[in-house]
Structure 1
Amino acid sequence: MLWLAKLLARIAVGFVALSLVLVIVFRFVPVFYTATMAMDPNPVVRNWEPLSSIDRNLVSAVIAAEDGKFCTHDGFDREAIENAMRRNMEGGRIRGGSTISQQTAKNVFLWQGGGYFRKGLEAWFTFLIEKMWGKRRIMEVYLNVAETGIGTYGAEEGALRYFRHSADRLTRTEAARMAAALPSPKTRSVTNPTGFTRRYGNTIAARIGVVRRDGLDSCVYE
């Protein structure tokens, strides 16, 4: 069994080394392609833009919608995780407690879907990007790799698809509608939202003001 222990140790060391290299590289290099894009059955369009070319309204909108504690947590919102676990134990629709940092780690380095193994890897990569990237880079990568529509990835392509203009001049309403659709971009309408998506978008648009007032996006613009 000694040989097996040595093999596992080598695999672990190799994985840690590879993950560190990848995180360091993507600290500086745009992420142009991910496993999610590779597994997408639809033709993929993507367009990397620096955060300076993405309207602040979208940054505020995704914080309002996805992760209000983005600037204060260490990558994990433990209260949200505990609440999600409690709701899931009670039955009904499964809900997650993932932060923007966790979603970024998953989108860049891993694959979609659940499972404890993938969640463990997600936690590892989340820890690394929080320590080595910082909040601004995490937000920049998130807004460039997130699926924003059928076969559409990133804020720029999403803005062009839905509003026919660049992501550098999104109104609060436009940004809020994009943020409202992020959890299910293949099924939620951005241009003509109805029902829950429309109500949720209106709520996010109103929360953008709170995000600005309380400095909940300040870590991105320090």
Structure 2
Amino acid sequence: MANRSRTRSRRFLKLAGKILLYFILFSVLWVLLYRIVPPPVTATMILDGNGITKDWTPLSKIDPDMARAAIAAEDSKFCSHHGFDAEAIEHAMLRNLRGGKIRGGSTISQQTAKNAFLWQGGGFFRKGLEAWFTVLIETLWPKYRIMEVYLNIAETGIGTYGVQAGAMRYFHHGASQLSPNEAARIAAVLPLPKKRAAIAPSGFTRRYGNSIARRIGVVRRQGLDACLK
């Protein structure tokens, strides 16, 4: 009986090792592919019952203030961290312990990893995969590519993905023509795209957008977007 048990254990460990190895190889190849090829579709898009409106646009064709607005709103340390913001994670954990609403724990890199390769929602398993894919894109992609993918697959409205589609939806012109205020409004929508609108915003969305617009200048002056140049 003991020998059978050891044999089963060895077989299980061997099988688990193969599965892990295949997953690592597959995920690395997947990330390398998306370094060159625009993600054709994501799990979030597939599961969206409102249809999909998107238009991939190179970062060079997106007004620089859009990336600055994303950095100002989502991740001021984007150019200096390696995928994770320890301080933001610590603050999020403290807020969670106090029963407060967690904000600002995820970096742009983490959000890109989640949006491109995974699905929405929480859970330790999905968070673990998110951390793995974050490490991969930070290792295998330049920061420029991370921002490019983020701005093209992030949900910017109901059934709307990417800042090009968002700009056309809200302002009737392309992302290359975004003003600082328009870029800030789109950035203000990103956390809750199904509940906020960038056009004629009111209440918190308007105040938040105005705050982001002011911080765009800070990002520019302090070179917080230097890794994108």
The normalised TM-score by structure 2 is 0.95
Counterpart position of 1:200? 208
Question: 2-side partners of 1:95 and 1:171: how far apart?
Answer: 26
Matches within 5 A, 1:70-89: 70-89=78-97
Counterpart position of 2:172? 164
Matches within 5 A, 1:107-186: 107-186=115-194
SS of aligned partner of 1:190? coil
Q: Runs of 5+ in structure 2 lacking a partner?
A: 1-8
Question: 1-side partners of 2:140 and 2:71: how far apart?
Answer: 21
Aligned-pair distance for 1:94?
3.5
Aligned-pair distance for 1:92?
2.9
Question: 1-side partners of 2:220 and 2:25: how far apart?
Answer: 39
Q: Runs of 5+ in structure 1 lacking a partner?
A: none
Q: Which has the larger radius of gyration?
A: 2
Matches within 5 A, 1:34-113: 34-113=42-121
Any conservation in 2 of the 1:71–1:217 contact (CA below 8 Å)?
yes
User: Identity across aligned pairs (percent)?
Assistant: 62
Any conservation in 2 of the 1:61–1:175 contact (CA below 8 Å)?
yes
Q: One-letter code of the match for 2:20?
A: A
User: Residues 16-39 of structure 1, C-alpha deviation per residue, up to 9 Å, x if partnerless?
Assistant: 000010011001011120111011
SS of aligned partner of 2:156? strand
SS of aligned partner of 1:159? helix
Aligned-pair distance for 1:117?
0.7
Question: 2-side partners of 1:41 and 1:92: how far apart?
Answer: 31
Runs of 4+ in 1 over 2 A off after TM superposition: 92-96
Question: 1-side partners of 2:162 and 2:213: how far apart?
Answer: 20
Question: 2-side partners of 1:95 and 1:30: how far apart?
Answer: 29
Question: 2-side partners of 1:156 and 1:101: how far apart?
Answer: 20
Question: 2-side partners of 1:42 and 1:94: how far apart?
Answer: 27
Question: 2-side partners of 1:19 and 1:31: how far apart?
Answer: 14
SS of aligned partner of 2:36? coil
User: Residues 46-78 of structure 1, C-alpha deviation per residue, up to 9 Å, x if partnerless?
Assistant: 110100111101000000000000000000000
Q: Root-mean-square deviation (CA), in Å?
A: 0.8
User: Residues 78-114 of structure 1, C-alpha deviation per residue, up to 9 Å, x if partnerless?
Assistant: 0000000000110132435000000000000000000
Any conservation in 2 of the 1:88–1:95 contact (CA below 8 Å)?
no
For 1:4, which of 7, 12, 32 is the aligned residue?
12
Q: One-letter code of the match for 1:172?
A: P
Any conservation in 2 of the 1:32–1:46 contact (CA below 8 Å)?
no
Any conservation in 1 of the 2:153–2:161 contact (CA below 8 Å)?
yes
Question: 2-side partners of 1:33 and 1:2: how far apart?
Answer: 39
Q: One-letter code of the match for 1:5?
A: L
Counterpart position of 1:33? 41
Question: 2-side partners of 1:67 and 1:94: how far apart?
Answer: 15
Question: 1-side partners of 2:93 and 2:169: how far apart?
Answer: 36
Question: 2-side partners of 1:122 and 1:42: how far apart?
Answer: 25
Question: 2-side partners of 1:136 and 1:94: how far apart?
Answer: 27
